[in-house]
Amino acid sequence: MRSSILLSTWAAGLAQAYTVTVTDLFMFKNIDPIVLPGQYTSHMHSFFGSDAVTVNTTTSAELQKGCSSTENPNDFSTYWVPTLYLIQDGNHTAITPMRFSAYYENLNSAEIAIPQNYRDVAGNASAQSQDVLESNAGMKWFCEGDPEDEDTDDAAFPTKTCSTHLQTLLLFHDCANPDTLESAYSENPNYFPTYGENYCPKGMYRIPQLRFSIRYDLRTLLPDGWEGQPPLELACGSSYCSHGDFINGWLPEAAENMLNDPSKSEFFGVDGPLGDYNAGSVCGAENATDSDPSHGTSDYAESVRMMKSSSMMRKRHLAKHRRS
Ligand SMILES: *[C@@H]1O[C@H](CO)[C@@H](O)[C@H](O)[C@H]1NC(C)=O
Ligand SMILES: *[C@@H]1O[C@H](CO)[C@@H](O)[C@H](O)[C@H]1NC(C)=O
Ligand SMILES: *[C@@H]1O[C@H](CO)[C@@H](O)[C@H](O)[C@H]1NC(C)=O
Ligand SMILES: *[C@@H]1O[C@H](CO)[C@@H](O)[C@H](O)[C@H]1NC(C)=O
């Protein structure tokens, strides 16, 4: 019975409950505690949410000690993406998004809350073309509200000026193992025989699906707009390398509340121990700052120097080992 309900809901794409929280950018920095823990050698990222994040962060408890720039006072997650730059005369100018929304979707299908210490990366930071992208990540760049450009790849920048915002979307895994914290995208078991009735690999459960929706307002930066390739670049390269990182920082009670939607079909605000869903950051979003300001950099050129010198050191190290 349960499975047939799940299957039909999934197949028919029935409206599912979701929540969303908006979060402000609080730093640009050349770190990535998931992909390059302990190192200041990443490409530049734009950070949102709990400012307790450092090069070493691994737990939700660490993030919950920080000041969060997110409007839901119960959300101490840290979210980050490669920084988007405007390129003019070879200069890189970092662009602060107009709005960064973290959606949590398909709440009706979720079997467990997002586990504490859970983390995930969506997208492919080394992708430079559409064909290597996993379709489940739903990575897209487009002009909000404008007709879709049929001739360009989903993950390419739009080739014409946006009438309002440049927008990008990215979907995270929706299956997780609460013990190992491994995760995956759900798949239909009719086509993926190793997947269970919950659409997840064995040992995994459905969790709320995180989706990034980021809007950039380019109207002041590029008053004349663009035709063809826009003068934009992500810190990781072209539009295709767009990716997102997430370390869960939701207070456990609020993470559980996400599954208690009474309406089951629309937006619902997730309240928690620190207040209602729209109460605003406890410490003031504007007060979130880099908690490790004496290391790493927020400057593009400096981040490139730091990446180069680390790769040179790595090569020297390898050469030395080969000789001995
Ligand atoms: C990260 O961990 C290293 C190794 O334990 C330590 O030396 C460093 O101070 C830590 N950095 C931060 C910002 O916590
Ligand atoms: C680019 O940077 C140089 C050196 O800082 C500066 O002189 C120039 O005005 C900048 N150009 C633009 C378009 O910002
Ligand atoms: C990511 O992109 C690289 C470079 O195109 C490709 O070789 C690799 O297979 C991709 N990784 C995944 C997990 O799809
Ligand atoms: C932000 O920090 C300032 C200066 O410390 C403080 O006066 C203000 O109350 C803080 N904002 C909030 C909402 O706590």
What mean pLDDT value characterizes the chain? 93
* Helices of type H across the chain: 2-12, 60-64, 252-257, 300-323
Strands (E), 124-226: 140-143, 166-171, 175-176, 183-184, 205-206, 209-216
Cβ 284 under 6 angstroms from ligand 4: yes
Q: Where are the domains of the chain?
A: 4-323
What average pLDDT does the segment 296-316 reach?
Answer: 89
Strands of 99-105's sheet in order across: 19-23, 99-105, 209-216, 166-171, 140-143
Cβ 91 under 6 angstroms from ligand 2: yes
264 CA from centroid of ligand 4 (Å): 37
Q: What percent of the chain has pLDDT over 70?
A: 94
**202 secondary structure, DSSP code:** T
The 3-state DSSP class for residue 246 equals: strand
Closest Cα to residue 204, out of 179, 229, 227, 222? Answer: 179
- The answer to whether residue 11 scores a pLDDT higher than 50 is no
Angle at 139 between CA 136 and CA 141, to 5 degrees: 155
Give the atom of ligand 2 at the shortest distance from the alpha carbon of 90.
1
- pTM for the structure as a whole: 0.93
What average pLDDT does the segment 141-147 reach?
Answer: 96
What average pLDDT does the segment 68-93 reach?
Answer: 97
- The answer to whether residue 197 scores a pLDDT higher than 60 is yes
Cβ 273 under 6 angstroms from ligand 4: no
65 CA from centroid of ligand 4 (Å): 16
- The predicted structure's pLDDT at residue 8: 40
CB 104 within 8 A of CB 77: no
Ligand 2: residue whose CA is nearest its atom 2: 91
Cβ 57 under 6 angstroms from ligand 1: no
Phi-psi region of 243 (alpha: psi -120 to 50; beta: other; left: phi over 0): beta
| CA–CA gap between residue 42 and residue 13 (Å, rounded) | 38
- The predicted structure's pLDDT at residue 6: 44
For residue 291, CA distances in Å to 27, 85, 216, 228 come to 10, 24, 26, 40
Give the atom of ligand 3 at the shortest distance from the alpha carbon of 128.
5
| CA–CA gap between residue 82 and residue 31 (Å, rounded) | 10
For residue 187, CA distances in Å to 13, 23, 70, 192, 252 come to 14, 30, 31, 6, 27
- pLDDT 10s digits, 46-73: 999 999 999 999 999 999 999 999 999 9
For residue 250 the two structure tokens come to 């939701």
- The predicted structure's pLDDT at residue 5: 41
- The answer to whether residue 227 scores a pLDDT higher than 60 is yes
Q: Which ligand is nearest to the CA of 296?
A: 1
Cβ 39 under 6 angstroms from ligand 1: no
What average pLDDT does the segment 311-323 reach?
Answer: 71
Mutate to test the pocket of ligand 2, among 86, 87, 88, 91 (most ligand atoms within 8 A of CB): 91
- The answer to whether residue 220 scores a pLDDT higher than 50 is yes
Angle at 254 between CA 250 and CA 258, to 5 degrees: 105
Cβ 58 under 6 angstroms from ligand 1: no
132 CA from centroid of ligand 3 (Å): 6
Ligand 1: residue whose CA is nearest its atom 1: 56
13-22, 103-112, 172-181: the lowest-pLDDT one: 13-22
State which H helix or E strand residue 75 sits in.
Answer: none
Ligand 4: residue whose CA is nearest its atom 11: 284
- The predicted structure's pLDDT at residue 173: 98
Better pLDDT: 142 or 14: 142
